[in-house]
Amino acid sequence: MQQKITPSPLSATESANLRTDQQSYPLRVPSHWRQRIDWQNSQDPLLRQIQPTPEEWQPVAGFSEDPLAEEQAQPLPGLLHKYAGRALLLLSHSCPIHCRYCFRRHSNESKPTTSAHNWQAAVEWIKQEKTIREIIYSGGDPLMLPDRQLQQLTRQLAEIPHLQRLRVHSRMPVVTPKRIGHDLLQWLTGSRLTPVLVIHCNHPQELDSLVLQALHKLQQAGVLLLNQSVLLKGINDSVEVLAALCETLIHQRILPYYLHQLDPVAGAAHFRVDNAKAAHLWLQLQSRLPGYALPRLVWEQPGYPSKRLLELPDDAHQDSLICS
């Protein structure tokens, strides 16, 4: 049975604004995610990730629709080249879930993707760029595309001699684990490219038994699994939650490689954790976890040749020693 989200009472203006926002970025929740929400708890971390709130349409200085200036980093529509050795294909603008903090939440069908209809130009570009070693399937969620199309594209890419790895960024194993089936495993692991999948999990409650089964299928097929999380106020901004997440991931042989500061996308400012608190949390995490289980605390700034490590305040280490 579909659960209804009951918003708090709103003024007429707030309701109108929320309706407008709902049209451009509506609530979307797949059934497996919905079933795991504790509907009696307004602070449930799965609920908070998907629930539209009036705070989303309040303009906040420094938060914009394209916070990473990605439109300027596209040599071709739907092809991003930000970092040396890697190129990213935006294969779909749609997702099985609408995460309210998503930095691409303002992408929509009017913007270009590297779809089945126009990926030939992207493949030709990659052939010419001999420094590219790794192709990243991204979106939206690239696994929204049918396996047949993903197989065709992967076959073409595998014929390019300088490519070595295929990396897929997808929330699908966590939000809709039944998507991880035989056909997907075939194209992902059936070429000469080393397969890597980044699962984007933010809270240990996301990892239930069906999700773990899907992840184990991927591992058994030879896929290297990594996780990157976004640091989200009211969802995972506590050392207990982050430590539990990293411990669970490592126990399942998934490397928690990045903890991201939120990208300043319009509509998500209420999820922002300030840099001082982020640094303090990370230092506490460092004191609890073995080095290999500790994600790097990073943020992204347009125009830089890589993600940037968040600078730790001079007194942060001292604070963490006192508090941990």
User: Which stretches of the chain bind ligand SF4, using CB under 6 A?
Assistant: 95, 97-99, 102, 104, 139-141, 171, 200
The tokens for 166 are: 């295929």
CB of 105 to ligand SF4, least distance (A): 7
Q: Which helix (H) or strand (E) holds 31?
A: helix 31-36
Contacts of 104 (CB under 8 A, 6+ apart): 70, 93, 139, 140, 265
Is the CB of residue 93 less than 8 Å from the CB of residue 260?
A: no
Q: Which helix (H) or strand (E) holds 86?
A: strand 86-90
C-alpha–C-alpha distance, residues 249 and 2, integer Å: 30
Quick check: bond before 140 cis, omega within 30?
Answer: yes
Instruction: Rank residues 29 and 79 by Cβ distance to ligand SF4 and give the closer one.
Output: 29
Instruction: Rank residues 144 and 244 by Cβ distance to ligand SF4 and give the closer one.
Output: 144
Is the CB of residue 249 less than 8 Å from the CB of residue 255?
A: yes
CB of 313 to ligand SF4, least distance (A): 29
Instruction: Rank residues 99 and 241 by Cβ distance to ligand SF4 and give the closer one.
Output: 99
The tokens for 179 are: 């998507």
Instruction: Rank residues 175 and 239 by Cβ distance to ligand SF4 and give the closer one.
Output: 175
CB of 78 to ligand SF4, least distance (A): 14
CB of 200 to ligand SF4, least distance (A): 6
CB of 96 to ligand SF4, least distance (A): 7
Instruction: Rank residues 52 and 139 by Cβ distance to ligand SF4 and give the closer one.
Output: 139
Residue 138: phi and psi, rounded to 5, are -140, -170
C-alpha–C-alpha distance, residues 142 and 40, integer Å: 33
CB of 141 to ligand SF4, least distance (A): 5
C-alpha–C-alpha distance, residues 71 and 262, integer Å: 19
Instruction: Rank residues 200 and 280 by Cβ distance to ligand SF4 and give the closer one.
Output: 200
CB of 54 to ligand SF4, least distance (A): 20
C-alpha–C-alpha distance, residues 46 and 60, integer Å: 25
CB of 93 to ligand SF4, least distance (A): 9
Is the CB of residue 82 less than 8 Å from the CB of residue 131?
A: no
C-alpha–C-alpha distance, residues 138 and 93, integer Å: 9
DSSP per position, 64-85: BSSTT-GGGG-SBTTEE--STT
Q: Which helix (H) or strand (E) holds 196?
A: strand 194-198
Instruction: Rank residues 139 and 195 by Cβ distance to ligand SF4 and give the closer one.
Output: 139
Instruction: Rank residues 139 and 173 by Cβ distance to ligand SF4 and give the closer one.
Output: 139
